[in-house]
Each structure stands twice: as structure tokens, then as C-alpha cells.
Structure 1
Amino acid sequence: MAASSNAEQTQLQDMEEEDAGIEEREMESDEEEEVGMGAENSDDDEDDSSEDEKENEAEIQRLEEQLSINAFDYNCHVDLIKLLKQEGELIRLRKARQKMSELFPLTEEIWLDWLKDEIRLTEEEPNREKVYELFERATKDYICPDIWLEYAQYSIGGMGSPGGIDKVRSIFERAVTAVGLHMTKGQTVWEAYREFENAILSTVQPPPGRIPSREEQELLNTQLERIHTLFRRQLAVPLMDMEATYAEYEEWSEQGVPETVAHQYKKALQEMEKRKSFEESLFVAEPPKLAEYQAYINFELKEGDPARIQITFERALAENCLVPDMWAKYTIYLDRQLKIKDLVLSSHERAVRNCPWTMGLWKSYILALERHGADHQTVSDIFEKALNAGFIQATDYVEIWQADLDYLRRRVDFSKESSKELEELRAAFSRSLDYMKQDVEERFGESGDPSCIIMQIWARIEALHCKNMQKARELWDSIMTKGNAKYANMWLEYYNLERSYGDPVHCRKALHRAVQCTSDYPEHVCEVLLTFERVEGSLEDWDIAVQKTETRLNRINEQRAKAAEKEANLARQEEERVEQRRKTKADKKAQKKVQKGNRAGEKRKADQDDYQNEWNEDSAPKRHRGNGDQNAEEYMETETGLLGRNALPVFKPPPPETKNVQQGAAATAQRQSNDKPELRNDDCSVFISNLAYTLEEPESKLRVLFETCGPIKQIRPVFSNKGNFKGYCYIQFESSVSVPGALKLDRQEVEGRPMFVSPCVDKNKNPDFKVFKYNTSMEKHKIFISGLPFSCTKEQLEEICKSYGTIKEVRLVTYRSGKPKGLAYVEFANETQASQAVLKMDGMEVEGNKISVAISNPPRRNMMDKPGSSRPMSDMMPRQVYGSRGRGRTQLSLLPRSLQRQSAPGNKVENGTANERVQAMASESVSAAGEPKPLSNSDFARMLLNK
């Protein structure tokens, strides 16, 4: 063995010397080329290169200054590394890469460039440990076959040192374990491993013609067996192009391929065929190939091979490293299935490095550390890193604190009255409350824990484990003062705590307070109190409980009755408004009929007079009626035309509805003329609207409200025809000085309804006057927020938004009744702040509601449809043009609307129902221009009479 080992070392030294000679010759040729090229360069080229160097140096300094301000600028790191590499500043380049790797995991390309540069820098150094350490760091960020291959090839250069061959084999073994199952790139690692072993085989083979010794033969057989084993292991793994490997093994093996190896190869070939479609879809897909990888992972999960599941996850994460859901699925699989400590913890560590903003990954990491017995300091350090990760929601901080508090609670031995762990737990609870109050509320404008879950858990721990009810009661009192006293479930939680660990006195006290404070489910709280007194209380306690519950419920019922009455009034008012609109529409329609009838009567009378004149001129016979000297010729018009002298006259009185409409219109005009003020002075007047229809004595109530603004000359409320108040009025002051004070009362509530106060303007004289005072075009410095909870106030929204810039105005959008719509506009000082707010706030949760945020771009108000507006002629439909007499009665279509639909062309019906014939005729009545022609009355009659 010693002789063979010496021979092996001698052969390796010869190989290294030969490689060194080749490198020296290549370096000499490179130097000659550089000298020749340097002689040809001109002075102009040197000047240009010096200018470029100065510009690059200035850019390098700028990037370094920017990183000193914001070290987490990923793109800035990448740009700096590219410039330093271009300038050949390898020492500064090493420092830049080091800083970047401390903050971010590096991609495969960055690592390979770094490793190659470090290999060149350490060629003359006696030890290679620095490069080995760098390779170890590179293999931990992502599973990359190219990095492992480079690592193994670099280790071959040091196999001449003691233990060098064993180190190379160890690295190759780790490489095939890590990436040997990679369907497309794993084969290169296997082949490199076999080439290395074949090189070793050439060193132990005896020269031709010499019989090897016993030790040399044993060494030769051992090396041959290593190569056989590598072939068998590789052929048992499903890889692309594995057929070529099998053919190579057949050619290399003198005894042929063993039956067991052939069987394993066929089985692996079948597995490769199953996965071939997934590999092909990955090959043609565009990055990041998330859907294709997800389908591949689902397939491997069904197959159930842990090694293949792991390599598929690793391949997906190398291209989708910023997808938190993919990391979460991978870590959950490792936690529940493999449970290998080093693999699990390293995966969790890589997950939070890639997606530090995801709270769930940090929470899983802390649980994994505890699960695998990590020391307390390590868990604490990871928790502190999580707090500084910069989560995007306030609730994320509550959850991460809960995870840490759960971990600390499980460390405490509560059998001891006091311990270091218990004090640490209480200190952590106290710190978490301070953190929520100071850091989280200042950043997000909300606590993130409105139900005080952390304090509830602390109170239960004090009551259950520490038997300290006094501390638990103090905590619950603090919970109730944070806006939770109105919720029945919070009081019942407190009651259950007292019931389990307290005493009846405090139980009764808690329930009495609950009866007085609860507003959401008071009946339930009252029932619990009465049930408690039935079981535990005396007669006096029962009487007190009954009295308190009855008083409380009566007050609640009164409030609910008032609210129901208010809602009923609003509904009735809405019905009255609908009915009034319907009636007004009917009145207008009737007036139009009357006017049309009057015009038709005048026209008919004029025609009749003309006809009579013509008849008299022709000396037609006359009919005498009454006195003989008063002759009146009467010719009656019927539905079929003019009749003779013996025909009876036809008298048609006006319809009663026309008479009523005329009378109503006259009465309305008379009332309006009576109600009209004698003098109108808009400069001294204001218009009041949005008042309740049920407002009693509006004049006296408004006088009391507006007398503070100045002397009032007249208050004119507007009433309907039935005498009902219409919800608006005019107020005229004696002086225009009083108007600004009156306008300040805008939106003040009158009997629970906001009153609108606006200037009194005659729009006939001022057509350009616009009541709508907000912009309707894009406002880049203003954001629009939707999905807000109805309980959100202006102050709360301002607290949420102020961390993103200087706020100039916050406006909540409400209905006319004053109820919020869940919409708001927030105006910032400039466009940049508004854009930042959109990026950070869109999708944020506010009191459980997910809000949407966008740059303000309100739609145009449809002012053109209102009376008096000037609609552009291009937007108007052309009016139908009729003859000089207008549209007569005989031009009305008698065809029902339901039968006027067009049918498909070519559907001609010879024999069929009336409806079918109508549709056929309608399909035929199409003009050459493709426009449908209406059916005439004659067409309709012909269709009906056609059997």
C-alpha cells in the first residue's frame, strides 16, 4: 500500500507540473500579445481611457455614498459590483461583495463571478481555506449545480496536499447528494465525478508489460470498483439523456452490464419518462415559471419520494426566491415530513433572508428553533431580527409577539413560586404592550390589537398558573378602558375568568358593570346575571339584579324604538318623494295632452270656418234654426268625415282628467304667485336644504338657529301642493354682512340630519354657477381610498396616512344623511408623497376591512343632463322630422311592441300563426341601407286577414 501510495503521489505531482507548464506558456503568449497591442495604441486612446476611468471612479463614489445612506438598496449593490469589476478593483470588489452577501442571498451568477475572482487572488497564497469557506457560503444560499461543479473542480487542484484526494471525494459526494437528482444538470456532476476517478485509475495502473504486485492489484481493483459503483448509482437515478450513460457503461465494463444494474436502469428510465413532460414545459416556459414548478411539485408530492420533492422545491425557489408562499410550503413540508434539524433550520434561515417582510416565515422559524432544541439566545436573536424586518401590517407585530410569548411561557416552571424564566416572561409581556403603544401605533396609526389579545393571555396566565387574581383584574380593567366595555363577549370572558379563579363577589361586580356598559347584546348579559343570582345570590341580590336589568332593557328598547321610528320616517319620506315624482310626471304628461288637444281643436275650427265660407260662396242650401233672421249653418265632423245637413251634431266634452289638470295647474300657479316674495335680494340670502320633511315649524326653528348671524328679514319655507314641507327654504337677512356667518353653519345637524347651507344664486342669470366645489380631473397629489370601515373617523385616517408625507386635507365622503360611504380623499403636499402612499397603503387592512388606494381621478359629473345645461350638439340624438302638420293620429302604429322585433333575414313563413307571419313580415321590411322599416296599418291588417 505504501509503494502504491508513493506511485500515486508521484503521478499526481507529474500531472500538476505539466498543468503548471501549460499555464506558464499561456501566460507568456498573453504577455506578448499585450506588448504588441500596447505598441499600437495611440495617445488619443489613452486620453479617452483616462476620461472613462475618471467618470467610472466618480460613479463608484456616488454609489458608495448612496449605500452608506441606504444599505438595503439591492440594485445599487449590483451596479457597484459591476463597475468595480470593470475597473479591475479586485480588493474593493471583494469588500463590496462581502457587504452585499451579509444583507442578501446572492444569485448563482454573482457567486460564480466572485468565486473565480477569489481563485485568481489566492493563487499565490499557501492555503486555500479562504476559497473553501467562500464555496461553503455559496452552496448555502441556493442549490446550484454549477456552483457545486466549480467547487469540486477547484478542490481537484489541491489533491496533492495531504488528504487532498479524500477531500475531493467528499466534496463530490456532497455535490451528488445535493444536486445529483437534478433532471437536466445533475448528469454533469456525475460525469465529472467519474472523470476524476478515471484519472485516479490511470495513476494506479501498472505500465504495460509489468505484472502488478499484490498491493498494486488490490489498489487497482478498489479503484475499478469505485467507478463501477458510480455507474450503478447514476443509472439508478432518472436523468435526461441517461441512455448515453448506459451505452458508455456497456462499452467500459469488460464483463458487461449486470442484470441488477439493467433492471434499475429500466426502472429509472420509466421514472424519467413520467417527468419528461414537466421538464419540457419548464424548458419552453418563460421565467419565473411559477405555475409549471407548482405542477411539478404537486406531482412529486403524490409520488412521495422525499429526495425528489426536495430537489424540485429547491429548483423552484432558485427562480422564485421572492415568493413567500413557495418558501412557506417548502418549510412546512420539511417540518412535518423530513424533520432533519440541519436541513430544516437552514431552509428556514434562507426563507427569512429572501422574504424578510413576511411575518409567517419568521413565526415558523421561531417554532422550528424551539422544536429542534436551539439555545435560548439563538431564539431571542431571531426574534429581535424579526422585529426589525419591517412588516407591512400592524397585526403582523401582534402575531410575532404572540409567538415569542408562547415560547417564553413554555420555558417557565410554574411549580416554582418565582424563577428567572417567569420574570423574563412578565418583562416580555410588559415590553410587548409598550411596543404596541409606541412603535406600532406611531407607524400604522392603530394598535393592531384592538381586542387586547396579548393582555387577555397575560391575565389568564396570572390567574391560572401564578394564582395572582389581583394582577389579572388590573389587566382586565385596562382592557375595558381601551374601548372594549361595550362588547358583551369581553365582559363574559372577564366573568368566566372570575368564575374559574376568582370569587362570587367579583363575579357579581363584573356582571353588574356589564349590564350597564354593554350595547351590542344587553339581553344576553342580563340573562347571565339573573342566572348567576338564581344559583348564588340572596333575595336582596335577586331584587337588585331584576331592577337593574329591567331598567337597562327598558332604556335599550326606547332607544331601539326611536331608531326604528326614525328609519320608518325616512322610509315614508322616501315613498312620498317617489309618489310626488310620479304624480308630477303624470301631471306634466296630462298638461302636454291638453295643450296638444287645444292646438288640434283650433286647427279643426279654422278648417271648418274655411269650408263654411266656401259653401256660402257656392250658394249651398241652408238650414234655419231659431229665429228666421239668424241662420247658422252647422256641419258636423265625425270619425268618417263631413256629413250632410240632416246629420245630428256630435258633441265631445273634455275628459275629466284634463279638466282637473287644468284646475290644478291654475291653483298651483296661483299659490306660487301668492308665496312668491315681494322683493328678492340674492346678496343677502342663503339657501337651506337637506332638512327633514317631518320638521315641525321650520320657520321658528331656523330663526332661532340663524339669528346669531344677524337680523333676519324673511324666512320662506317651501311646501308642496298638499301643504307638506319639502325640506328646503330661503332665508333673507337685512344685510349681506350676515351671509358669511350663515354659510359657516353648513353641515350642522338639525334633528339628527346635516343641514346644507349654500349661497342663493339665480342660475338663470348665472348659468356658469357650480354648486359642486371639488375637482373632477386627475389630482396626482391626492389619493382616493375605498373600503374604509364606517366607523373610521377623519382623525384616524389622518394618523394612518401621516407617516407617508405631509397631509394638507382629509375628506370623508358621506351620504346626504351624514352617514359615511366608506370613501375618502387625502391630499398630500406633492405627487411623490401621494405615490408612496398608494404603494404602501393599497391592500392594507383597517379594522378588518381591506382598503383600496389609488390616485384621485373622479369621474365627470353628468351636468349636461340637467335642465338649463348646454349639451353639445354632437352628443344629441337628431330629432324626428315630420311634415308641416306634425304627426297625425293616423300615423300611429297599431302593431304591438312585442311583435316589432326583427327576425333573422330569410325566415319567410307561408303558413303559420299570426305571430310567425308578423315576424316574417318584419324581417322583409328592411331597407337597402339595412335599417328596419315600420309596418303600416295596412300591412298589419293584411297580415291578420290572411288565413
Structure 2
Amino acid sequence: MTETEAQVNPQLSGEEEKDSNINEDHHTTDAQNPSDGSGSDSDSESEDEAQSKAQIEALETALGSNSSDYDSHVQYIKILRKLGDLEKLRQAREAMSALFPLTPDMWQEWAKDEITSFGEDAFPAVQKLYERGVSDYLSVALWYDYLNFVQEYDSVVRECSAAGISKARNLFERALTAAGLHVAEGHKIWELYREFEQAIFLTIEETDSGSKEKQIQRIRNLFHRQLSVPLVEHKPTLRAYRAWEANNGSSIDVNSSELDGLSSHVVSVYQKAVEMLNARVHLEEQISKKEAGSEKLQEFMTYLKFEHSSGDPARIQILYERAIAEFPISSDLWLDYTQYLDKTFKTARIVRDAYYRATRNCPWVGELWVRYLLSVERGHGSEEELATVFEKSLQCTFTSFDEYLNIYLTRVDGLRRRVSTSTEVKDGVNYSVIRDIFQRASDYLSPHLKNTQTFLRMHSYWARLELKLGKDLIAARGVWESLLKISGSMLETWQCYIAMEIDMGQINEARSLYKRCYSKRFPGIGSEDICHSWVHFEREYGSLEEFDIAVQKVTPRLQELQLFRLQQEGKISVLATDEKENSSRKNSREKRKPTASSIDEQSPTKRRKDTVQDLKTIKENDKDQVKNSVKVSGSTESHLRTAENVSKETKDASSKKSVPFDDQCTAFVSNLSLQATENDLRNFFADVGGVVAIRILKDKFTKKSRGLAYVDFSDDAHLASALEKNKQIFLGKKLSILKSDPQQGRKKTVAGRSLSTKHEKFDSHEASRVRGESSRPQSGSSRNGEGIQLKGTNTFAVPRNVRPLGRSSSKPQSEGATERGDEIPKSNDEFRKMFLKE
């Protein structure tokens, strides 16, 4: 509900209360000032009229901006009816009826207003209103009013002419078909029908015994028909029948038991109807007790399940109509009802009418529109009717774009069947209509369904019809070429296009497609698959020279892909190894962290052995560090590098001093979703291609993404294409994609200190990790035992010729130093031999 409606509705809901308050005020004023009573009434009426006009203007504005607002239509009609503006009211009702089905109460009010204003002159218009009303929903009350209206205002029926009687009987039979099986209210139609026939009996002259006897038999048949139907007023109907028979000369004793004197046929059908009624009484009570809501709908579904078990189509249909009158916008109920009609009646007109009503009540359900189109086609509807239903469906709003696609394809299916089975052009149906619908579907759905299998299937279907019905190979190729512009990053698109060319025997065209797509990058192993597919294609269809050319082109591409895959696996392995080693070193340091007491408790021999073992471990780790940094599996292909060569190259590269990335072909991505992974970014740039490496910046301590990343490309052309994706939405965030400028990331001098930018620090660190370099912390002693520097308070092992921290070298030794046993200092070599001695 709009803001305007929210303002209007409270005013409308309180109209009666306001009217009563105004009347009370008027009475009070009249009692106090009798002379001023008429003036107060006129002022109040003018205020009400002004308020109603303001409400009408507000509602007209609301409907002008949103004509599909159901509540605004209802309130607008209610206010216009109160003001009595019949012409404007009629227009408002017509406008609402064009969009929504009206309720039975609204149809009754409309008919009543027309009759009150124009009397018998409005009979044709009012009769059309009743016809429209009874076709929207099942309503016994509306049928009852309609039958009374015809008897009262139709001069032909009122005069009881033969034509009038026939017209009335036809209308009564229609009413019985529509509502005569309504268990709770159907007896009203039967009783009104009998009253009409009894009134005709009274108009027959006494001398015309033949006509009288014929009319008596007609009334008797009506009683028998009603007694065979399970209705709630079953016993009163039986009593009325016995009384009527007694009045018309029958030997039935009114005071006897109910079934005495009746024919065996009547007794049999009556007892069967009573049994059927008793089986349904409980279900009827459950429905009547529940208020409108999910519980009542569930009771209807239980009732329907029971009727389905009995297998009476007419009774099942009546119950569906009753449920729909209570729940007109339940899409599940409409789907269930129309599916039952499709199975039971199939091509009957009643099925198409049901779908027409279903789509008016639930226009947002694409499945109903699809079934509607199929129903019209089964009923051999005209091309004009099919086109009308199709165009109406496209004006609705569905929950998914797949529903739109389903409607487009259903329409194409119907046209294909007509074109295929007809040798002549009928109703303007030819293949150009199919092509137009396909083009409309592609234009509308391409922004939403590109790179999906459903969109690919639609174009594949289109291309086949261009060949089969359109007899145009160039047009079929045009379909695929247009799809390549939309979904060219999908491997399946190229494969289907190539398959069509091979099926048509166009080997050269298929070969040219392979040459166009073998160097593209597809998700997963798609790039390798297309390369192998080309080789297999040439093996089956090409000459030796063409086979050699394919192998020559494919081999370096496969090598490039394999190397790239190994690099990616190496990066993952290095990262996992670094994290594992960092964790293990941290745990090891925590476990082996020496304390003063533990160092004092260790024996000198134990300390010497541990120190020697540590030195050996460090040297072994240095030797194996590069070898274990990247784990690659050997390739079985003879034309690819072996794992040993890759390991050797990685080892050589890691032995050199690491250099930061130069960022010559790198895009800097910011405002990145924190949940984005490297695979997500790789898929995002899949249509661009040329991605060499992706580096997502992570927090040093939490290891979580910082929303920044660098994407390296193979050349400037791919980088330029990637920069065009700037400001696109990715995982719910608008990306900022700029070219990375290395010059801005160099060291800057700030207050006499050389500072490196965060970007350069990240590049240097990342380069060292990718190239297999280790960032181990230095041990307490160097690998060659030289340049030892010990820190801390534990200096028991410091050589005497190494001055402790904080002691000046110019400080003179005490004179008594030579008199002590440790006065002569040992050299470094002597100390090392003593320390490492077994």
C-alpha cells in the first residue's frame, strides 16, 4: 500500500463513526438552537463533500502512478459510489475490471446501481454485467440475483411466452450446472427453479389438460433430480415433494413415514444422496467453522482429496470453484485445479476459461501462462489468440528470468509445430515470426542469463531451427556468432558451434573455429580440453599436414598451461609449507625456550651435544630448503618439462637475491569483498584472459583479506581489457581497478629516513615466498661459528676476549688480574676447540 493509501484508508474506515458523531452533534445543536439547525446540516454536508473530493484526488494520483494497486481501486470505487457520480463510477469499475476480477459483492452493487438509475432500459447492460460476474467466481448469491433479475425485468420471460420460458429454463440449467452441486447453498437454485415452473403451471388454463399434465411431470422431475443430489436441505425438500404430490392427486399420505408411498426409484436415489451427504457433513462443518486463512485452505484441500477419491468430475470441479472463490490468489490452488482440468477435460473450452481466470488472479506465476498457451494450442485456437496470450504474459513480472525464457520457448514450440505441419502460410505464420521471438528473447535475457546452460540451449535450438525450417546456414552461423559475443568465455559455446559445423560437413569452418579458440583461457581444464579436442578432430578429419600444424600450435599452449598450473600448485604448496613451518618453529621455540633454572640444570656435556646437533640441523635444512619449497608432480607428456627441471629452476631462482615485482602489467584491485578468493578473481577476469598471478593482501596476524589485490597479466592488451571492468559489481561490491604504478611504490625519504611503501614491502615479501626463500630467524650462533653475538643476562659462555655489552674497550685492566687463575685470555680458536671438544 502506498503512502497516499495509508493516509486515505484510515479516513475511509472511520466514515461510519464520523457520520454517527456528526448526527449526534446535529441533534445537540438542533436542541439548543432550533433556528440554526438547517445551517449546521448544510455546513456538515459541504465539509463531507470537500473531504471526499480530496480523497478522490489523492486516489486518482495514486492510481496514476500505480494502476495495479488493488486496494486503491476498491477505495476509489467506494467513495465514488457514496458521492453518486454514476458516470465516473462506471469508468472506475471498468478500469478495475480490466486489470482484476471483481468480487461477487462488487458485481451485485454494480448491477443494483445500474438498475436503480435506469430501470428496465438498463436490462441489456445489466444482463452483461451479471454474465461477466458469474464467469469470475462461483457465487450462489450472484446467480440467485441474476435469475430473479431476468424474471422481473425481462419482458419476454415476464409474459411467459414460449421464447421467454425457453430462455429462462436455459438460464436455470446453466445455474444448476455451475452451482447446483454446492452442498451448502445449491438448494437455493433448485427451489427457485421449482418456483418458476410452478408459476408457469398456474398460467396454464384448466381446459388444457395435456399441457397441465406435462408441466406436472416437469415439476416432478425437478424434485426427483434435487432429491438425488446431496444437499444440506435434503429432508425439507422431501417433505415439500410429498406435500406437492398430495396436492396434485397422488395417494401419498402426508402423515405417514417419509418414504412411504414413494416409488422405488425415488427411494433409492434419495437414500444414496443421504449417504453421500452424511459422508460430507463433517467436512462441510470444518470449512464453515474456520475463518479465512491457511487452516481453512487446508480443510478445503482435505475435502478435495476426499472428492478425488470418489472420482466425480463435476463434484470435484464445484469444490475447486468454491475454494478459489475463498482463496483467489492462491497460486498452488490454481496450479492444482488447472492440472486436474487438463487431465480430465483436455481440449474443452472450460479449461481455457479456467486458465484465463487463473492468469488474471495470479499473473506473476509463469507456469500458469505456459499452460495457458498449451491449452489454447490444444483447443486449436487462432494465431491471434495465441499471440494475445503471449504478449500479455510478457507484461507480467515473474520471480525469475528462467520463467520468461520458458514462456518464450513455449511460444516458439507452438509456432514450430504449426510451421512444420503446414505446407501453406496460415494466419501469417512463417519462420520469420519464430526468428523475431528468438531475437526478442536474446535481447531481453542476455544481460541476465549469459554464461548459463539455459541460455546456451536456447541459442542451440535457434540455430537448429534456422537450418531445419529457415534453410539458412549463414543465419545459423550468425546465431552462434552473436552468442560468442555474449558468452564467448564458455567452452560449451565453442563446442556446440563446432559440433554444428561438423554435422553439416563444414570441416574447414570447424577447423577455423578451433584456431580461434584454442588459445583462449577457459575455466577449469577447459583450455586443455579444447586443445586435445582439436588434435582429435584433425586425427579424424584432417590430413597429415593439418594434423602436424595442430600439434605444432597446441604443444606450446599445453606447455604454457602446464607450467602455469605447476606454478599455481607451487604457490599453494609454498604457502602451506611456510605456514606449517612457521607454526612448528613457533611451537618449538615455546617448548624449548630456556629458563635460567633449566640451563643451570643441564650438564656441560649435554649442552655441547645439543649445540653440535643444532649446527648440523641448520646445515641440513639449508641444503633441503629449496628442494622442499615447491612440490610438483612429473608429467607423462614428453613435450612438457619434468618436475626435476622445474625444481632446479626454482632452486636457482631462490638462491638469488629476491627482487620485488615490477608491476609492469599489473592491475591493483581495491574495495574487494573480504570473502573473495583467488579463484573468484580468476573467474571474474576469465572473459579477459591472460591472468598470470593473483596476490590478495592479507593481514599479518589474522591472515584475513584486507580487501586489496594485485592481478598480474601476460601483456598490456589483457591489462587494458581488465581495466575496462572498473566499477563493476563483484560479490556485492563495486570494484576499483587501476593500473599498478611501481614508481609510486618506491622508497620515499621522510624526515631523513628511508621508508618503503606498503605495496613494495608486500611485493618483496611475496616474491621471496613464491620463489621458495625461507624467512627463518637466525640461530644463536652462525652457521660457520663466526661473528657470534649473544644478548641477555646469561653470559657464562662468553669468551674472555669478547667484551660484554656496555663495557668500553678502552677501560684498563686491573693490576691484580694477572695474579688470578683466569688472567690469561684465550683466543677464539682455543675457546672453540674447548667448547666443541668431545
Match among 225, 233, 239 for residue 225 of structure 2: 233
Distance 1:698 1:174, change over 3 A: farther
Distance 1:300 1:499, change over 3 A: farther
Distance 2:693 2:388 in 1: 59
The answer as to whether partners of 2:138 and 2:325 remain within 8 angstroms in 1 is yes
2:353 partner amino acid: S
Give runs of aligned pairs for residues 550-699 of structure 1, distance below 5 A.
Answer: 550-579=555-584, 582-583=587-588, 653=601
Distance 1:703 1:539, change over 3 A: closer
Give runs of aligned pairs for residues 111-150 of structure 1, distance below 5 A.
Answer: 111-123=107-119, 125-126=120-121, 128-150=123-145
1:75 positional shift: 1.1
Give runs of aligned pairs for residues 23-38 of structure 1, distance below 5 A.
Answer: none
Distance 1:404 1:580 in 2: 68
Distance 1:302 1:41, change over 3 A: farther
Distance 1:476 1:151 in 2: 60
The answer as to whether partners of 2:449 and 2:455 remain within 8 angstroms in 1 is no
The answer as to whether partners of 2:446 and 2:486 remain within 8 angstroms in 1 is no
The answer as to whether partners of 1:383 and 1:404 remain within 8 angstroms in 2 is yes
Corresponding residue number in structure 2 for 1:754: 696
SS, match of residue 282 in structure 2: helix
Distance 1:292 1:703 in 2: 72
Cα deviation, 1:208-235, whole Å, max 9, x if unaligned, reads xxxx42x2x2222222222221222122
Distance 2:517 2:413 in 1: 30
Corresponding residue number in structure 2 for 1:292: 299
1:551 positional shift: 4.2
Corresponding residue number in structure 1 for 2:179: 179
2:220 partner amino acid: H
Cα deviation, 1:895-937, whole Å, max 9, x if unaligned, reads xxxxxxxxxxxxxxxxxxxxxxxxxxxxxxxxxxxxxxxxxxx
1:463 partner amino acid: L
Corresponding residue number in structure 1 for 2:91: 95
1:187 partner amino acid: H
Distance 1:811 1:310, change over 3 A: farther
Corresponding residue number in structure 2 for 1:330: 337
Distance 1:445 1:512, change over 3 A: closer
Distance 1:756 1:203 in 2: 99
Corresponding residue number in structure 2 for 1:678: none
Corresponding residue number in structure 1 for 2:502: 499
Give runs of aligned pairs for residues 928-943 of structure 1, distance below 5 A.
Answer: none
Distance 1:300 1:412 in 2: 42
2:314 partner amino acid: A
Give runs of aligned pairs for residues 186-197 of structure 1, distance below 5 A.
Answer: 186-197=186-197
The answer as to whether partners of 1:306 and 1:338 remain within 8 angstroms in 2 is no
Distance 2:586 2:200 in 1: 101
Cα deviation, 1:763-793, whole Å, max 9, x if unaligned, reads xxxxxxxx999xxxxxxxxxxxxxxxxxxx8
Cα deviation, 1:774-813, whole Å, max 9, x if unaligned, reads xxxxxxxxxxxxxxxxxxx885548x99xxxxxxx7479x
1:114 positional shift: 1.6
Corresponding residue number in structure 2 for 1:168: 168
Distance 1:377 1:569 in 2: 68
Distance 2:400 2:68 in 1: 20
1:132 positional shift: 0.6
Verify: 1:429 aligned to 2:435, yes or no. yes
Match among 538, 555, 577 for residue 543 of structure 2: 538
1:377 positional shift: 1.5
1:104 positional shift: 0.8
Match among 213, 219, 222 for residue 211 of structure 2: 219
1:77 positional shift: 0.9
RMSD: 4.3
1:338 positional shift: 0.8
Distance 2:561 2:485 in 1: 22
Relative to the length of structure 2, the TM-score reads 0.63
The number of residue pairs the alignment matches comes to: 597
Distance 2:61 2:735 in 1: 41
Which structure has more relative contact order (CA 8 Å, sep 6+)? It is 2
SS, match of residue 364 in structure 2: coil
Corresponding residue number in structure 2 for 1:151: 146
Verify: 1:481 aligned to 2:481, yes or no. no
The answer as to whether partners of 2:198 and 2:219 remain within 8 angstroms in 1 is yes
Corresponding residue number in structure 1 for 2:245: 253
Distance 1:191 1:427, change over 3 A: closer
More helix by share: 2
Corresponding residue number in structure 1 for 2:380: 373
Match among 362, 365, 390 for residue 369 of structure 2: 362
2:497 partner amino acid: Y
Give runs of aligned pairs for residues 876-887 of structure 1, distance below 5 A.
Answer: none
Cα deviation, 1:26-80, whole Å, max 9, x if unaligned, reads xxxxxxxxxxx99996432332222112211221232223323332221111111
2:125 partner amino acid: K
The answer as to whether partners of 1:394 and 1:448 remain within 8 angstroms in 2 is no
Distance 1:285 1:552, change over 3 A: farther
Distance 2:401 2:539 in 1: 44
1:347 partner amino acid: A
The answer as to whether partners of 1:533 and 1:541 remain within 8 angstroms in 2 is yes
Corresponding residue number in structure 2 for 1:895: none
SS, match of residue 451 in structure 1: helix
Match among 454, 462, 469 for residue 466 of structure 2: 462
2:355 partner amino acid: H
Distance 1:569 1:271, change over 3 A: farther
Corresponding residue number in structure 1 for 2:320: 313
SS, match of residue 753 in structure 1: strand
1:358 partner amino acid: V
Distance 1:423 1:265, change over 3 A: closer
Distance 1:581 1:168, change over 3 A: farther
Corresponding residue number in structure 1 for 2:63: 67
Distance 1:164 1:581, change over 3 A: farther
SS, match of residue 231 in structure 1: helix
SS, match of residue 455 in structure 2: coil
1:701 positional shift: 4.2
1:181 positional shift: 1.3
The answer as to whether partners of 1:151 and 1:171 remain within 8 angstroms in 2 is no
Distance 1:750 1:537 in 2: 33
Distance 1:267 1:654, change over 3 A: farther
Give runs of aligned pairs for residues 266-277 of structure 1, distance below 5 A.
Answer: 266-277=271-282
2:179 partner amino acid: V
Relative to the length of structure 1, the TM-score reads 0.56
Distance 1:545 1:332, change over 3 A: same
1:183 positional shift: 1.7
Percent identity, aligned pairs only, is 33
Match among 48, 53, 56 for residue 52 of structure 1: 48
SS, match of residue 237 in structure 1: coil
Distance 1:415 1:145, change over 3 A: closer
SS, match of residue 182 in structure 1: coil
1:539 positional shift: 2.7
Verify: 1:390 aligned to 2:390, yes or no. no
The answer as to whether partners of 1:464 and 1:501 remain within 8 angstroms in 2 is no
Match among 328, 341, 347 for residue 354 of structure 2: 347
SS, match of residue 122 in structure 1: helix
Distance 1:248 1:293 in 2: 32
1:86 positional shift: 2.1
Distance 1:478 1:85, change over 3 A: closer
2:158 partner amino acid: G
The answer as to whether partners of 1:394 and 1:447 remain within 8 angstroms in 2 is no
Distance 1:174 1:415 in 2: 39
Corresponding residue number in structure 2 for 1:893: none
Distance 1:231 1:698 in 2: 109
